[in-house]
């Protein structure tokens, strides 16, 4: 059974639709793992065209006239990324004779305690032959993981004209199929909770099952907020003969993107529970897996397949990084928002980059910008927020909704629409106008109604603008969803500087008064709870007070 060597103890999580869409092309050959979102096939097709031309590969457009074009666009882009990374990695290893810069960077980025780095330096110091060193590099160097992210709840229906397509053409189903059919040997990160129908659909793909040696071509990473969620979903998958290879624990509020707040449970105790119950989790799910695979007449791993525990959300210092690894027996720690300030890794257009670079604590907040109705991390002054506000003040609020990835509302229509669309906002406004509201009451409702942003366009624009690609469908306004941790980093950083900061070789924080990630998370939950209290129009009952505070404090 495989046990891939892990050279780094950090990974780069998915950020938006576009910010990490090409991160693997930039860093995977250097042994650094990152995650791409594969939900938006229109944007992905544009990136495939761009990188095909950049690396001189033939490009044939996958138009909407081609059968299953959405999934094929995703598969083709992932195949291209896989091919490019392999070429760059082989070039890196073969550059030993010329003392190539990328090979030097590969080892330079590793932590000082890395055995791999020490062994390589010993071979060089001992004047090892070129043949021996090349052989050693081929046997010991690994690329970073080229993982993909799917928000499981983004599984809206697709249509051909007025005809609703079968469920396998729903957005998340399409993304699963696109990944499963690709040449990648990596993992899919499933985020945003359970989708039993989608999880059941994954049974159809051979690569998710173990081979005769217990290895998986495609692995499943489950992003969870607590142990209870992990074991429930782990059992669910195991009953289908599918294995969770990694449980990725994320802070509910101290993170970027959508904020899925827990009922007050904090990251420290959650990680402690995972540490204490890991064996229970493995034993329980492995027993169920064996029974399911036996029933399906499939290969049954002779020993429990490997399971990793990782965490992410608000980590900002080498001490925090090391503490999480050592105290909770983690395999890796995710560093997200700080990498938005590293152009070598992420695709952030200049105006957004400047906003993020100078953002302070007070500029970062939980907003109602997401059409999903889930709190959304935001930064004041983003061009999408400015555009949205102008439209609202001009009396023409909302978006034309050209992509329809977030169309879930059936309040006024038989066919679902997006709550950030002009169509929904205008229909809702007509309803509000019939209420007997004061001018102030109407203003409050209007502002809340028009707070939603078109994230399908806003979150995909940055990479298009960075690479000077067509944005006729998207426009030029950009949404960005950094975690609050970015307030403690200012300026532009190289990949070497950020990685050196992670491993404690240097300190790039802009303040000595940064709160510990656990203290920051606790404060965010207190603020979140206070906001909930401020929204209440009726006195809180003893029962509500008990269930929402005392039990979870």
Residue 292 domain-assigned (yes or no): no
The domain boundary, picked from 204, 221, 238, lies at 204
Q: Record the pTM.
A: 0.94
Q: How far is CA 445 from CA 33, 137, 344, 376, 398, in A?
A: 44, 62, 43, 19, 15
Residue 247 backbone phi and psi in degrees, to 5: -105, 115
Residue 265 confidence (pLDDT) above 60: yes
- Asked if 225 and 260 count as a contact pair (C-beta separation under 8 A), the reply is yes
* 91 vs 273: CA distance, rounded Å: 44
pLDDT (tens digit per residue) in 490-513: 999 999 999 999 999 999 999 999
DSSP state letters, 75-86 = HHHHHHHHHHHH
Distance (Å, rounded) from C-alpha 269 to C-alpha 249?
Answer: 12
- With a CB cutoff of 8 Å and minimum separation 6, the contacts of 54 are none
For the segment 146-157, what is each residue's pLDDT rounded down to a tens digit?
Answer: 999 999 999 999
* pLDDT score at 477: 97
Can you name the residues that pair with 379 across neighbouring β-strands? 364
Sign of torsion, CA 354 357 362 363? positive
The pLDDT value given to residue 551: 31
The neighbouring-strand residues paired with 123 are: none
In this structure, is residue 58 part of a structural domain? yes
Q: Give pLDDT, residue 552.
A: 36
Tell me, yes or no, whether 263 lies in a domain: no
pLDDT digits (tens, 9 = 90+) for 227-252: 999 999 999 999 999 999 999 999 99
* pLDDT tops 80 at residue 112: yes
Report the C-alpha gap between 84 and 72 in whole angstroms: 18
% of the chain with per-residue pLDDT over 90: 90
DSSP H helical ranges for 296-362: 318-327, 350-357
d(CA 300, CA 8): 30
At which of 156, 186, 204 does a domain end?
Answer: 204
**pLDDT grade, residue 1 (50/70/90)?**
very low
- The pLDDT value recorded for residue 539 is 65
In-domain check, residue 429:
yes
Q: Within a domain: residue 20? A: yes
Mean per-residue pLDDT of the chain: 94
Q: Is there a domain that residue 531 lies in? A: no
pLDDT in tens, 203-225: 999 999 999 999 999 999 999 99
Tally of domains in the chain: 2
At 187-206, the pLDDT tens digits run 999 998 899 999 999 999 99
For residues 303-326, give the mean pLDDT: 98
pLDDT of residue 532: 80
- Res. 537 pLDDT band, cuts 50 70 90: low
Pick from 320, 346, 347, 338: nearest CA to 484: 338
* pLDDT given at position 531: 82
Q: What is the dihedral of CA 36, 40, 44, 46, to 10 degrees?
A: -140
101 in any annotated domain: yes
pLDDT at 317 over 70: yes
Tell me the mean pLDDT in the region 445-457. 96
Average pLDDT over residues 349-358: 98
| Residues spanned by the domain of 428 | 344-509
Q: Which of 279, 175, 257, 250 has its CA nearest to residue 218?
A: 175
Whole-number pLDDT of residue 540: 63
What confidence category does residue 5 fall into, taking pLDDT thresholds of 50, 70 and 90?
very low
pLDDT at residue 553 in the model? 32
Q: Are 418 and 404 in contact (CB under 8 A)?
A: yes
Query: pLDDT at position 100, please?
Result: 82
pLDDT band at 3 (very low <50, low <70, confident <90, very high): very low
pLDDT for 425 equals 97
Q: Which residues of 444-455 are buried (b: 16+ CB within 10 A; e: fewer)?
A: eebeebbbbbbb
pLDDT digits (tens, 9 = 90+) for 410-436: 999 999 999 999 999 999 999 999 999
Binned at pLDDT 50, 70 and 90, residue 534 comes out as: confident
Among the candidates 143, 174, 204, a domain finishes at: 204
What's the confidence (pLDDT) of residue 263?
85
More reliable by pLDDT, 376 or 551: 376
Angle (CA) 26-29-34 rounded to 5° is 60
Position 117 in a domain: yes
Portion of the chain with pLDDT greater than 70, in percent: 95
When pLDDT is averaged across residues 305-332 and rounded to a whole number, the result is 98
pLDDT digits (tens, 9 = 90+) for 382-419: 999 999 999 999 999 999 999 999 999 999 999 999 99
- State residue 280's pLDDT score: 97
């Amino acid at each position: 059974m495989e046990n891939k060597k892990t050279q780094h103890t950090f990974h780069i999580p998915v950020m938006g639709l576009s910010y990490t869409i090409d991160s693997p092309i930039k860093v995977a050959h250097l042994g650094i793992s990152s995650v791409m979102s594969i939900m938006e096939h229109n944007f992905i097709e544009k990136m495939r065209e761009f990188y095909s031309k950049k690396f001189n590969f033939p490009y044939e457009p996958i138009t909407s006239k081609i059968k299953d074009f959405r999934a094929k666009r995703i598969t083709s882009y992932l195949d291209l990324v896989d091919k490019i990374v392999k070429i760059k990695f082989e070039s890196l290893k073969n550059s030993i004779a010329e003392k190539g810069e990328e090979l030097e960077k590969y080892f330079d980025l590793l932590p000082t305690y890395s055995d791999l780095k020490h062994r390589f330096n010993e071979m060089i110091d001992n004047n090892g032959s070129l043949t021996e060193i090349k052989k050693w590099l081929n046997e010991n160097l690994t690329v970073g993981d080229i993982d993909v992210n799917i928000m499981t709840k983004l599984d809206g229906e697709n249509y051909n004209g007025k005809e609703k397509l079968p469920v396998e053409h729903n957005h998340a189903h399409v993304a699963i199929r696109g990944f499963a059919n690709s040449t990648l040997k990596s993992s899919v990160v499933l985020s945003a909770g359970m989708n039993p129908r989608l999880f059941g659909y994954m049974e159809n793909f051979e690569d998710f099952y173990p081979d005769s040696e217990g290895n998986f071509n495609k692995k499943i990473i489950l992003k969870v907020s607590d142990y209870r969620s992990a074991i429930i979903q782990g059992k669910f998958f195991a009953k289908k003969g599918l294995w969770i290879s990694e449980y990725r624990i994320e802070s509910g509020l101290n993170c970027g993107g959508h904020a899925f707040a827990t009922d007050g449970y904090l990251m420290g105790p959650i990680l402690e529970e995972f540490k204490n119950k890991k064996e229970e989790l493995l034993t329980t799910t492995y027993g169920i897996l064996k029974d399911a695979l036996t029933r399906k007449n499939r290969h049954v791993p002779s020993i429990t397949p490997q399971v990793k525990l990782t965490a992410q959300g608000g980590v900002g210092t080498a001490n925090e990084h090391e503490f999480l690894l050592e105290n909770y027996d983690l395999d890796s720690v995710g560093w997200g928002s700080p990498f938005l300030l590293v152009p070598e890794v992420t695709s952030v257009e200049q105006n957004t980059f400047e906003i993020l670079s100078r953002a302070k604590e007070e500029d970062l907040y939980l907003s109602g910008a997401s059409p999903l109705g889930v709190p959304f991390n935001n930064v004041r002054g983003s061009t999408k927020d400015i555009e949205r506000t102008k439209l609202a003040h001009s009396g023409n609020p909302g978006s034309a909704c050209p992509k329809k990835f977030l169309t879930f509302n059936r309040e006024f229509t038989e066919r679902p629409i997006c709550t950030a669309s002009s169509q929904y906002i205008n229909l809702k406004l007509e309803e509000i106008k019939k209420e007997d509201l004061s001018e102030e009451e109407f203003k409050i409702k209007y502002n809340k109604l028009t707070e939603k942003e078109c994230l399908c366009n806003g979150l995909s624009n940055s990479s298009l603008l960075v690479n000077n690609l067509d944005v006729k469908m998207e426009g030029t306004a950009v949404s960005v969803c950094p975690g609050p941790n970015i307030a403690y980093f200012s300026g532009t950083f190289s990949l070497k500087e950020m990685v050196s900061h992670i491993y404690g070789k240097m300190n790039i924080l802009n303040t000595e008064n940064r709160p510990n990630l656990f203290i920051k998370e606790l404060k965010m939950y207190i603020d979140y709870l206070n906001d909930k209290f401020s929204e209440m129009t009726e006195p809180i009952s003893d029962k509500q007070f008990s269930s929402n505070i005392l039990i979870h404090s």
